[in-house]
Amino acid sequence: MIQRRRATAALAAALVGLPAFAQAQQEIYIPLVSKGFQHQFWQAVKSGAEQAAKDLKVKVTFEGPETEAMVDKQIDMLAAALAKKPQAIGFAALDSQAAIPLLKKAQAAKIPVVAFDSGVDSDIPVTTTTTDNKAAAALAADKMAEMIGKSGEVALVVHDQTSRTGVDRRDGFVNRIKSAYPNIKIVSVQYGGGDQLKSTEITKSILQASPNLKGIFGANEGSAIGVVNGVKEMKRSGKVVIIGYDSGKQQKNAIMDGSMAGAITQNPVGMGYKTVEMAVKAIKGEKLPKVVDSGFFWYDKTNIADPKIASVLYD
């Protein structure tokens, strides 16, 4: 009799625990693998993703390699994330080709892939949450042209030539200059991996080779700060117009002290939020647009304190 009671009690306890167990098993898990972790931009994307996870009651993780030059490490992170069999995954490709074999595995396993920041040269992602980088860089080119009197020599320091953001920002700037400003000559396009120190050295070599240079466009946060530092070290401050991309404390300080003329800011919090939101919709089988535009803005000393601008700047 005692044994029967114990068995009944054990069974009751198991049945009570079953719903909680089932619920835990059904928890939606969405890992996000970003291009990096060191820049303030990625921390802002992470905060947006975490807010969406809280609002939508799902679990997310967010990681990326130490630098945006570490393609192999990012691929390892993507493989590890997929091995956990998530219901969906967010991915910002450092190399839009290198990741395709793993993304094909995700597709075969029916794991929806939401690309963010950088697209992938493939139709595997169900959508891409991104800034219209070509349009944003074209705006940067227009601002540069205005500031240098629509003539003279300019250069670009870009974070890479393998990610969609690097390619689109480069091409958006270059194509606008070539199509709209015939008296402006692009004398150099260099790649610094988004690393401040490397971008500083690249900037110094560009300035040595082109003593009449009027302006430099830094295509992401690390590139832009490297340009500022390189121009300072070459004692060319005030003689070269610097336009950046992204924000962050150093860029904002550079704009306020006049060493950078202005920059394009994205909406990284919105990007992170939308990535998770789109992943949840994909899991539910909802139809998604091919691209979700998270927006961009020009900011400089005149509007940096405007509430609309301040809300999309990131420290």
Per the model's pLDDT, the better-predicted residue between 16 and 45 turns out to be 45
Reply yes or no on whether the pLDDT at 96 is more than 90. Answer: no
pTM over 0.85: no
- Over residues 106-137, the pLDDT tens digits come to 999 999 999 999 778 789 999 999 999 999 99
Reply yes or no on whether the pLDDT at 173 is more than 70. Answer: yes
- Over residues 202-251, the pLDDT tens digits come to 999 999 999 999 999 999 999 999 999 999 999 999 999 999 999 889 99
Same domain assignment for residues 75 and 181: no
- The pLDDT confidence band at residue 67, using thresholds 50, 70 and 90, is confident
- How far is 116 from 114, CA to CA, in rounded Å? 6
Predicted pLDDT at 3:
41
CATH number at residue 125: 3.40.50.2300
Predicted pLDDT at 164:
87
Q: Is residue 147 part of a domain?
A: yes
- Over residues 295-304, the pLDDT tens digits come to 999 999 999 9
Range of the domain at 244: 133-266
Predicted pLDDT at 122:
86
CB burial of residue 233 (10 Å; 0-12, 13-18, 19+): middle
Selection from 201, 196, 189, 200 nearest residue 156 by Cα: 189
- How far is 43 from 34, CA to CA, in rounded Å? 10
Same domain assignment for residues 272 and 262: no
Q: Is residue 9 part of a domain?
A: no
Same domain assignment for residues 115 and 156: no
Candidate from 7-21, 25-39, 144-158, 210-224 with smallest mean pLDDT: 7-21
Same domain assignment for residues 34 and 72: yes
Predicted pLDDT at 39:
80
Same domain assignment for residues 185 and 123: no
- The pLDDT confidence band at residue 16, using thresholds 50, 70 and 90, is very low
Same domain assignment for residues 118 and 145: no
Same domain assignment for residues 126 and 273: yes
Name the domain count of the chain.
Answer: 2
- DSSP per residue, 102-137: HHHHHHHTT--EEEESS--SSS-SSEEEE--HHHHH
Same domain assignment for residues 89 and 138: no
Reply yes or no on whether the pLDDT at 20 is more than 70. Answer: no
Q: Is residue 127 part of a domain?
A: yes
- Over residues 71-95, the pLDDT tens digits come to 999 999 999 999 999 999 999 999 9
Q: Do 278 and 129 meet the contact criterion of CB atoms below 8 Å apart?
A: yes
Contacts (Cβ under 8 Å, ≥6 apart) of 167: 161
Same domain assignment for residues 172 and 262: yes
Query: Which H or E run contains 61?
Result: strand 59-63
Q: Is residue 3 part of a domain?
A: no
Same domain assignment for residues 232 and 120: no
Same domain assignment for residues 151 and 113: no
